[in-house]
Amino acid sequence: MQFKHPELLYALILLIIPILVHLFQLRKFQKEDFTNVAFLKQISIQTRKSNTIKKWLVLLTRLGLIAMMVLAFAQPFFTQSDTATKEKETVIYLDNSFSMQAKGASGQLFRKALQDLITNIPEEETFTLLTNTETFKDISIKNTRNNLLQLDYAAEQLTPAAIALKAQKEFSSNPATEKQLIVISDFQDKGQPQTIDLENISLHYVQMRPVIENNIAIDSVYPVQSETNKLSLVATLSTQERRETNVPISLYNGEQLIAKATASFNEATETQVEFDIDSQTDFKGRLTIEDPLLAFDNTLYFNNNPVQTIKVLSINEAEQGFLSRMYTAPEFAYTATEVNTLDYSKIPDYNFIILNEVKAPSQALTNALATFVANGGSVLCILSEAGEASNYNLLLARLSGLQVGNLYKKGRLVTSINYDHPLYRTVFDSRIKNFQYPSVSSGFAITNGEAILDFEDGSAFIAGKNKVYAIAGGLNATNSNFQNSPLIVPTLYNMAKQSLSLPTLYFTNGVPNTYDIPAMVQEDEILSLANIETPDKTQIPLQRTFGNKVTITTQEQPEKAGIYNILNKDNILQQVSYNYNRDESILRYQNLQAIDGVSYTTSVATLFDSLKEANSIQPLWKWFVIFALLFLVLEMLILKFFK
């Protein structure tokens, strides 16, 4: 038994008052003389005994009355747990990720959890609410009910470590308070344990599970082939269970319906649908399906922008026919010039520059290329066996830090491919062992860069660093047969393509994305993004301006999926598409259970009922008031009827 006001128990010292009164209440008896003294003496003895018993009974009832009143004012009570009387600090994490759109027995999981919180938390109770994107600190239901009802879904989901970190920041450092963290989520299984490590904090897991877990999603779209006026696209759809089902899928260009098809799973979990679109038009693509379980993955946006031409300049002291055959329109605008007729003022206009066996790069050329690289340009230096290592060292060290060593005149065979390099990452389906590798008669040693192709002795034939590449020896027919190798096309083609990181069909929200917009803007001009559905609301992404392009980097913005205009003031330069990450589409959940220090339930209402029961207080003061009244009544009866 505990007391709400234990300090009042000091009033029990008042019990000494009736004791003193009864001890010192001495009555004086007056003597009377009677003839039959023996009879009167017997009566006097009996009367004194009765008075003594009556006094003790009255004393006990008065002591009981005072004690019961003091205990009643001290407000005694019983509790279900030792922590029931402690001050509470409550932090609630409510998962509002897209997977919580799934429907449970009483509607969408997120909406049901939110409504249960509003219903079960006392209106005046203070708590802190965390979502994946927002923090509501020290709020009460009474003051923030409307704001809570307006909460919406978010594309991202906090990891267990992030939840623990954010919750830890919200708790105070007061050791006397009882701290509890309530995690409300569907606990998707993403390959990592859902464990939250927090010391001296009570953990409560509420796992919300949908009734149906078979979601259908549009996962991706990608090009498979392109003709002069036609681009073939493949859309990939997935589901969780193998079943024979057909799902209609529609293709829109803006608001115009272009085509409809049927995705047939046929007892599979993945299927593909192919569409053809006009490659020469500005296509604002939107693929849609109808699936009632989750809404966010029923739409996928993409863009097919007009072809952006990459400008390639070849500065030659050797035959360049193989270069002109590779860099053709409309993808490339190829220009060839001799080193002695080079117009240095035109260098900033290009995206990719090739030094084709230039034997002695001048200081002026080195300075111009250094400025070009600093402004985001890419350079390939094909070294000539007739050149000097010292001249190439001055050039490459200035451009990227590559170093050129001794000239090897012994013929060597290229035998190793760096399949993980960005140039080859999407070229090979598998790592080929039986390959027709090229050979080189003579070439320089290249160090201090990432090897792309290696000789049999481990030295680099092609190395790169910061979009600056070097080839150890000349590619002329006398020195090398690399022009006849299947490797030349993906190598040189991807070098030029990656010199300008053009936007792809679409990007993913919430992850780092970097792309280039070919545009020449003034120093005080800033590019912005605007969703085509809300053109008046613009966002300014992280960007860096170079001479002939602007490099844009996005991650946290934009938050919403859709097609966005890239604006320079009111001028639309290009369009890009963003889609939500599809990780939330996989409705696979962890099997949680109650463990030491962590409670587990599947209902918010059930959790709060158990918390209320554990923190409940059973007051006893009414019983002590009743006992006090009983002692008072008993005293009155003794005084009136006891003889």
Residue 571 scores a pLDDT above 50: yes
Average pLDDT rounded to a whole number, residues 604-623: 72
Are residue 346 and residue 492 in the same domain, yes or no?
A: yes
Where residue 286 sits, what CATH number does that domain have?
A: 2.60.40.10
Residue 611 has pLDDT above 70, yes or no: yes
Q: How much of the chain exceeds pLDDT 70, in percent?
A: 86
Tokens for 493, please give them.
């083609």
Mean per-residue pLDDT for 515-528? Answer: 85
User: Among the three residues 467, 497, 527, which one is the final residue of a domain in this structure?
Assistant: 497
Inform me whether the pLDDT recorded for 200 exceeds 60. yes
- Asked whether residue 321 is assigned to any structural domain, the reply reads yes
Rounded average pLDDT over 213-231: 81
Q: Backbone phi, then psi, for 182, in 5-degree steps?
A: -110, 120
- pLDDT for residue 608: 78
Predicted pLDDT at 378: 92
Give CA separation, 155 vs 158, 508, 556, 559, 590, in Å: 10, 10, 10, 7, 20
CATH number at 363 reads: 3.40.50.880
pTM of the entire predicted model: 0.72
Q: With 60 as the cut, is the pLDDT of residue 308 above it?
A: yes
Do 368 and 469 belong to one domain? Answer: yes
Average of per-residue pLDDT across 408-427: 87
Residues 170, 265 within the same domain:
no
Give how far Cα 217 sits from Cα of 103, 238, 272, 434, Å. 16, 6, 12, 40
Query: Sorting pLDDT into bands at 50, 70 and 90, what band is 79?
Result: low
The DSSP secondary-structure symbol of 27 reads P
Tell whether the model's pLDDT for residue 630 goes beyond 80: yes
For residue 122, give both structure tokens: 């006392």
The confidence score (pLDDT) of residue 23 equals: 67
Task: Evaluate whether residue 502 is within a structural domain.
Answer: no
Distance CA 107, CA 120 (A): 18
437, 470, 497 — which closes off a domain? 497
pLDDT at 312: 94
Could you tell me the CA-to-CA distances from 33 to 27, 28, 29, 49 in Å, in that order? 19, 16, 13, 21
Q: Bigger pLDDT: 563 or 629? A: 563
Residues 436 and 403 in one domain: yes
- Domain end call among 304, 337, 352: 304
Closest C-alpha among 546, 504, 507 to residue 527: 546
Question: Look-up: residue for tokens 């360049």?
Answer: 320
- Distance, in Å, from the CA atom of 153 to the CA atom of 546, rounded to the nearest integer, reads 38
Q: Is residue 23 part of a domain?
A: yes
Which one has a higher pLDDT value, 45 or 184?
Answer: 184
Q: Would you say residue 26 has pLDDT above 50?
A: no
289-293, 312-316, 562-566 — which is least confidently predicted?
A: 289-293
Q: How confident is the model at residue 549 (pLDDT cuts 50, 70, 90)?
A: confident
- Residue 530 pairs in a beta bridge with 538, 565
Q: What is the mean pLDDT of residues 364-377?
A: 90
Mean pLDDT calculated for residue range 503-514: 88
pLDDT of residue 383: 93
Residues 476, 357, single domain; the answer is yes
pLDDT of residue 42: 54
Report the candidate in 452, 427, 456, 424 with the shortest Cα–Cα distance to residue 440: 456
In-domain check, residue 345: yes
Q: What share of the chain is helix, strand, coil (3-state, %, to 5)?
A: 30, 35, 40
Answer whether residue 51 is part of any domain: yes
Q: What percentage of residues in the chain have a pLDDT greater than 90?
A: 23
More confident residue, 319 or 609: 319
- Which candidate, 499, 546, 524, places its Cα nearest to that of 371? 546
Whether 233 shows a pLDDT value over 60: the answer reads: yes
Backbone angles phi, psi at 120, to 5 degrees: -95, -20
pLDDT for 315:
94
Asked if 113 and 184 count as a contact pair (C-beta separation under 8 A), the reply is yes
User: Residue 69: CB partners within 8 Å, gap ≥ 6?
Assistant: 624, 625, 628
Q: Looking at the structure, do residues 10 and 134 belong to the same domain, yes or no?
A: no
Regarding whether 230 and 125 lie in a shared domain, the answer is no
3-state secondary structure of 113: helix
**Which residues form the domain of 257?**
216-304
Rounded average pLDDT over 210-237: 84
pLDDT in tens, 443-502: 999 999 999 999 988 889 999 998 899 999 999 989 999 998 888 999 999 999 888 887
Q: Name the residue type at position 244.
A: E
- pLDDT confidence of 81, banded at 50, 70, 90? low
Whether 298 and 318 map to the same domain: the answer is: no
Alpha helices in 478-529 (DSSP H): 488-497
Instruction: Say if CB 100 and CB 188 are below 8 A apart.
Output: no
Mean pLDDT of the 19-29 span: 61
Edge-to-edge strand list for the sheet holding 542-545: 513-517, 550-554, 542-545
The answer to whether position 184 is within a domain reads yes
* pLDDT band (50, 70, 90) for residue 569: confident
Q: Are residues 61 and 109 in the same domain?
A: no
Q: At residue 390, does pLDDT exceed 80?
A: yes
Q: How far, rounded to the nearest angstrom, does the alpha carbon of residue 432 sit from its chain's CA centroid?
A: 38
Q: Are residues 146 and 100 in the same domain?
A: yes
Residue 379 has pLDDT above 90, yes or no: yes
Q: How far apart are CA 91 and CA 164, in angstroms?
A: 11
Partners of residue 95 on adjacent β-strands: none
Lowest-confidence pick of 59-73, 272-286, 365-379 = 59-73
Do 367 and 455 have their domain in common?
yes
- Residues 116, 180 within the same domain: yes
Q: Do the Cβ atoms of 312 and 333 come closer than 8 Å?
A: yes
Of 204-218, 336-350, 564-578, the range with the lowest mean pLDDT is: 204-218
* Higher per-residue confidence, 99 vs 608: 99
CA distance 135 to 138: 10
E strands in 160-245? 178-185, 202-207, 216-226, 230-243
pLDDT per residue over 139-164, tens digit each? 888 888 888 888 888 888 888 888 88
Bridge pairing between strands 76-79 and 103-104: unpaired
Provide mean pLDDT across the span 45-70: 71
Position 565 confidence tier, pLDDT thresholds 50, 70, 90? very high
- Number of structural domains (the chain) is 5
> Does any domain span residue 32?
yes
Q: Per the domain annotation, does 114 fall within a domain?
A: yes
Cα–Cα distance between 374 and 311 in angstroms, integer? 17
